[in-house]
Amino acid sequence: MKKKNYIFILILMIASNSAFSHNNPFLKPFSNIYQTVPFSQIEINDYTEGFNAGLEEQSKNIQTIIDNQDKPTFENTIVAIEHADEILGRVANVLFNLTEAETNNELDELAQKYSPKLTEASNKIFQNEDLFAKVNYIYQNKASLNLDTEDFMLLEETYKAFIKSGANLSKDDKKKFSDISSNLSKLTLSFGQNVLKETNAYSITITDKANLLGLPDYALAAAEQKSKEKGLEGWTFDLSMPSYSSFMRYAENRELRENLYRAYNSKSNKDNQNDNRNIVKQVVNNRLEIAKLMHKTNFAAYKLENTMAEDTNSVYKLLNELLSNYKPTAEKEFKTICDFAKTYTGDADFQMQSWDWSFFSEKYKEQNYDLNDGMLKPYFELDRVKQGLFWLAGELYGLQFKYNPSIDVYNPEVQAYEVRDKKDELVAILYTDFFPRASKQGGAWMTEFRGERVLNGKRLIPLISIVMNFTKPIGDTPSLLTFDELTTFLHEFGHSLHGMLANTKYASLSGTNVYRDFVELPSQLMENFATEQAFLDKVGIHYQTGEKIPAELVKKIKDTENYNVAYFCVRQLNFGFLDMAWHTIEETFEGNVEEFEHNACSKTTMFPTIEGTCISTQFNHIFSGGYAAGYYSYKWAEVLDADAYYVFKTHGGIDRATAESFKNNILSKGGTEHPMTLYKRFRGQEPTIDALLKRNGIK
Ligand SMILES: [Zn+2]
């Protein structure tokens, strides 16, 4: 049967000339410059062939480990497992990154098809009794092995992966675990795809300029451009950023704001084919079943084992501590904006709704701080900001960035940079992808096409990518960033430094492969540099006049740093509590999703509930990304970043020696040691919440 198939494929290959000459790039290490991904040579069929070959290679490699008659050792078992999936690693990294940044129906279907297969294959490995017997033998003898710290961690994490995948379960329960987890991988993928489809499904084109009152020129220009692309007259707004956010922030027309708000917040919560309500139920119930199989009371308890927080108690402790510290201030901030809205509208009974908040808090800021995005944008030209970030990475870590157009990219808008150290040695490749496309998910993220590791004594350089959704250049106007966008850029760039400066033996412990509640430290730390004068001097230059950003404008930025900070904290806590509520259920959930959410958010919501809107049905972080029972990580890491930045600040801000210590103790180490150990080595003590409270003016 197999042979027949083979002949059939061969005939097909001979029949088509191009297929005949085509080598599937996934099957061998990439032969492009610096072993970068040969995007333009990849054909759609290469994925299927690559996955099949990869799954076969992985299973063969695992079988070799099992069949090995020698005594199990760290090298012949643990390291061998780590390196068992070379081909799979290549094809999966490319596919799953492109389904985020440059997708189409064919790629979506491939992801749908192979994502459960990968979960299945991984379960098969981590539930294999013979293999686990070998791993367990090594683990039980770990004290006598004389392993170095990193090897020890690899052993520890490999052993835990077996346990977490059900290696200790009965045969029946193993099967249950596998079925549930491959079902989950399908569900979570569908969840994200539904949200993207719903985001793309809505747009509103306004032809009467009277309805656009309040919107700044740059937002109107972007909206006009959107109309043109659709062959329409007028101004088009949709649910992508910054289109949606600028409308909510500036449009005087309250009715239209309400329409847009309702469209945005009812995504995947309507009776149509993109409805996520049932998926939410199935996901949380499946996760609960997994927890129960593992003898845990809820999924959060299962998930939090591999985190710095360690258990639900310490997560709730942090969330509640922040809530009690920030809520009084948040209520004051809320009242200030409500009172302002009453004065602004001349309506003493004005009732603040969710679609009013952005608008009135922006107006208040304009009137009381004399600052808005439009005043800052001309000073933050994307290209100069990028150069400024490269400069900052040079000052802190001695890095240099060289654009190399000969490196293959997946879209003409993407640029690839060689990243070199002081000695001009190649450290990493950095891809930048800045503008929104229909094929791209919303938001901003950093990812890897290949993680760093050492192979045969040689450091294999990481291929790192940062993906954004910044305003596109229009006509003669270059892409100009808001201050929020500048901060987002710094954030993702911080993640990329974690990936680029990784220096570890194993890819699974390298760069951002750390505990979830530690991963936002390097990114959030970088955000602090946004208001460092030396950095602003580099990036804040008017794109037309070349004038440096005026000191009074910088002062205004600093004055508004804590503007509504408590309100935003409570908003983040709202997401954190909601996430924890979904993942601490102890009984199968059959109820109403909106109602559940309403209850979970009762302590953190400030607005009247709007029927039909729902966070859960579009909460990609927890239902499609990896943040289930992990959303609190943002706040956890904020405690860390404020505490860590305090060290930089006491040494003058952009300080090479502090950066060197941060690099050596944290960035380069990835997940090779427990994060608290790494952190204390950098900081000299455990973190406290004080620096954050002080930074936010709460204490
Ligand atoms: Zn992040």
Alpha helix segments (H runs only) across 346-400: 357-369, 373-376, 382-397
Domain with CATH 1.10.1370.40 in the chain: 2-126+128-164, 377-565+633-695
Instruction: Give the separation between CA 213 and CA 61, rounded to whole angstroms.
Output: 64
Q: What is the mean pLDDT of the chain?
A: 94
Whether the predicted pLDDT of 9 surpasses 50: no
pLDDT value of position 12:
37
Tens digit of each residue's pLDDT (9 = 90 or more) over 84-103 = 999 999 999 999 999 999 99
To the nearest 5 percent, what fractions of the chain are helix, strand and coil? 60, 5, 35
Instruction: Give the separation between CA 361 and CA 333, rounded to whole angstroms.
Output: 9
* pLDDT above 70 coverage of the chain, percent: 97
Q: Ligand 1 centroid vs 279 CA: distance in angstroms?
A: 25
Q: Ligand 1 centroid vs 512 CA: distance in angstroms?
A: 10
Whether the predicted pLDDT of 117 surpasses 90: yes
Tell me 675's DSSP state. H
| CATH class for the region spanning 377-565+633-695 | mainly alpha
Coil, strand, or helix at residue 424? coil
pLDDT value of position 21:
64
pLDDT value of position 16:
41
Q: How confident is the model at residue 8 (pLDDT cuts 50, 70, 90)?
A: very low
Catalytic residue among 381, 395, 418, 492: 492
Coil, strand, or helix at residue 516? coil
Instruction: Give the separation between CA 4 and CA 6, rounded to whole angstroms.
Output: 5
Instruction: Give the separation between CA 116 and CA 119, rounded to whole angstroms.
Output: 5
Instruction: Give the separation between CA 227 and CA 231, rounded to whole angstroms.
Output: 6
Q: How confident is the model at residue 474 (pLDDT cuts 50, 70, 90)?
A: confident
Whether the predicted pLDDT of 490 surpasses 50: yes
User: What separation in angstroms does the CA of 230 have from each of 200, 291, 326, 412, 609?
Assistant: 13, 48, 45, 21, 35
Instruction: Give the separation between CA 352 and CA 442, rounded to whole angstroms.
Output: 28
Q: Ligand 1 centroid vs 180 CA: distance in angstroms?
A: 29
CB of 489 closer than 8 Å to CB of 535: no
Q: Comparing C-alpha atoms, which of 670, 348, 691 is closest to residue 511? A: 670
CB of 388 closer than 8 Å to CB of 379: no
Average pLDDT score over residue span 466-495: 94
Q: Comparing C-alpha atoms, which of 506, 516, 501 is closest to residue 454? A: 506
Whether the predicted pLDDT of 19 surpasses 90: no
User: Residues lining ligand 1 (ion), CB within 5 A?
Assistant: 520, 523
Amino acid at position 151, single letter: D
Number of Cβ atoms within 10 Å of the Cβ of 175: 14
Average pLDDT score over residue span 442-454: 94
Q: Comparing C-alpha atoms, which of 698, 577, 569, 581 is closest to residue 638? A: 569
666-670 own/partner pairs: CB under 8 Å, 24+ apart: 666/521, 666/522, 667/497, 667/498, 667/501, 667/502, 667/522, 668/501, 668/502, 668/503, 668/504, 669/503, 669/504, 670/498, 670/502, 670/504, 670/509, 670/510, 670/511, 670/512, 670/513, 670/514
Q: Ligand 1 centroid vs 49 CA: distance in angstroms?
A: 33
Structural element, H or E, at residue 616: none
Amino acid at position 388, single letter: G
CB of 97 closer than 8 Å to CB of 437: no
User: What separation in angstroms does the CA of 690 have from each of 641, 645, 646, 686?
Assistant: 12, 12, 10, 12
Tens digit of each residue's pLDDT (9 = 90 or more) over 649-659 = 999 999 999 99
Q: Ligand 1 centroid vs 616 CA: distance in angstroms?
A: 20
Q: Ligand 1 centroid vs 442 CA: distance in angstroms?
A: 14
HSE-CB for 577 with a 13 A CA cutoff: 22
Across the strands, what pairs with 480?
A: 381
3-state secondary structure 298-312: CHHHHHHHHCCCCCH
* Residue bearing tokens 């108690």: 313
Instruction: Give the separation between CA 626 and CA 494, rounded to whole angstroms.
Output: 19
CB of 414 closer than 8 Å to CB of 447: no
Instruction: Give the separation between CA 422 and CA 399, rounded to whole angstroms.
Output: 6
Instruction: Give the separation between CA 340 and CA 356, rounded to whole angstroms.
Output: 12
pLDDT value of position 443:
86
Across the strands, what pairs with 541?
A: 548
Instruction: Give the separation between CA 404 and CA 415, rounded to whole angstroms.
Output: 8
Whether the predicted pLDDT of 18 surpasses 80: no
Peptide bond into 72 cis (omega under 30): no
Instruction: Report the alpha-carbon angle 452-460-444, nearest 5.
Output: 35
**Residue 492 annotated to the active site:** yes
Q: Ligand 1 centroid vs 520 CA: distance in angstroms?
A: 5
CB of 274 closer than 8 Å to CB of 198: yes
Q: Ligand 1 centroid vs 471 CA: distance in angstroms?
A: 20
Instruction: Give the separation between CA 623 and CA 617, rounded to whole angstroms.
Output: 8
Which are the contacts of 360, defined by CB distance < 8 A and separation ≥ 6? 337, 340, 341, 344, 352
Number of Cβ atoms within 10 Å of the Cβ of 155: 20
Tell me 42's DSSP state. -
Tens digit of each residue's pLDDT (9 = 90 or more) over 193-243 = 999 999 999 999 999 999 999 999 989 999 999 999 999 999 999 998 889
Coil, strand, or helix at residue 213? coil
Whether the predicted pLDDT of 544 surpasses 80: yes
Amino acid at position 549, single letter: I
Q: Ligand 1 centroid vs 51 CA: distance in angstroms?
A: 29
pLDDT value of position 416:
98
Instruction: Give the separation between CA 310 and CA 322, rounded to whole angstroms.
Output: 18
Tokens standing for residue 222: 């972007």
pLDDT value of position 358:
97
Q: Ligand 1 centroid vs 487 CA: distance in angstroms?
A: 11
Q: Tell which wins on pLDDT, 164 or 66.
A: 66
Q: What is the pTM of this model?
A: 0.86
Q: Ligand 1 centroid vs 524 CA: distance in angstroms?
A: 7
Coil, strand, or helix at residue 160? helix
Q: Comparing C-alpha atoms, which of 329, 691, 365 is closest to residue 560? A: 365
pLDDT value of position 3:
34
Maximum distance among all Cα pairs of the chain, rounded to whole angstroms = 84
* Residue bearing tokens 């990294």: 93
CA 68 to chain centre: 40
Whether the predicted pLDDT of 453 surpasses 60: yes
Which are the contacts of 690, defined by CB distance < 8 A and separation ≥ 6? 643, 699
Tens digit of each residue's pLDDT (9 = 90 or more) over 261-280 = 999 999 999 999 999 999 99
Q: How many residues does the chain have?
A: 699
Q: How confident is the model at residue 2 (pLDDT cuts 50, 70, 90)?
A: very low
Whether the predicted pLDDT of 569 surpasses 50: yes
Average pLDDT score over residue span 11-35: 72
Q: Ligand 1 centroid vs 523 CA: distance in angstroms?
A: 6
Tens digit of each residue's pLDDT (9 = 90 or more) over 619-641 = 999 999 889 999 999 999 999 99
Average pLDDT score over residue span 448-475: 93
Whether the predicted pLDDT of 116 surpasses 90: no
Instruction: Give the separation between CA 53 and CA 511, rounded to whole angstroms.
Output: 27
Number of Cβ atoms within 10 Å of the Cβ of 7: 9
Instruction: Report the alpha-carbon angle 598-602-603, nearest 5.
Output: 155
Whether the predicted pLDDT of 10 surpasses 60: no
CB of 616 closer than 8 Å to CB of 574: no
Q: Ligand 1 centroid vs 637 CA: distance in angstroms?
A: 10
Number of Cβ atoms within 10 Å of the Cβ of 23: 11
CB of 385 closer than 8 Å to CB of 481: yes
CA 602 to chain centre: 27
| CATH class for the region spanning 2-126+128-164 | mainly alpha
User: What separation in angstroms does the CA of 628 have from each of 306, 616, 623?
Assistant: 13, 12, 7
